[in-house]
Copies of this chain bind each other. A is one copy, B any other.
């Protein structure tokens, strides 16, 4: 199972590459794609609808400000969706945090901390999820734990 990392803007890359770096530690393949729920809604829809058939098992979605992306992603898939709020609007990314975590009942987004800590933890949580059905990933998750939760 691969992980699809979507983010709302080119400028989110430096933060979200943290997710990719961590996924590499877990030997999980991932793709990092810029696709905004607001600028490219049809691209997002296309990517997400096709995610499961193309071998993705988890989707990480990151966005700042009025961060609709993770919720919209959750609406187009039955895969587990993890959300990473990013700074950029109100101080601390509080606008993105509320826009992602406060999803109404029915469409869950598992939300992580704002910024880099969240980007890393999204990858680790994806690894824990994939480890449930993949022994090799499970071993890497154990290795990560032995390593003091550091890569």
User: A: which residues have CB within 8 A of B?
Assistant: 1, 8-9, 36-39, 41, 45, 57, 64-68, 71-72, 74-76, 78-82, 89-92, 94-95, 97-114, 116-117, 120-122, 124-125, 128-133, 138, 141-142, 145, 148-150
A103:B65 contact, CB within 8 angstroms: yes
User: What would 25 A/B residue contacts be, using CB atoms closer than 8 Å?
Assistant: A8-B104, A9-B104, A38-B74, A41-B45, A45-B45, A66-B99, A66-B113, A68-B68, A78-B128, A78-B142, A80-B132, A101-B111, A102-B114, A102-B117, A103-B112, A103-B117, A104-B113, A105-B121, A107-B124, A107-B149, A108-B112, A108-B125, A108-B128, A110-B112, A129-B132
Of the candidates B45, B78, B90, B105, which one forms a contact with A102 in the assembled complex, judged by CB atoms under 8 Å apart? B90
Complex CA gap A76/B39 in Å reads: 9
Complex CA gap A75/B144 in Å reads: 12
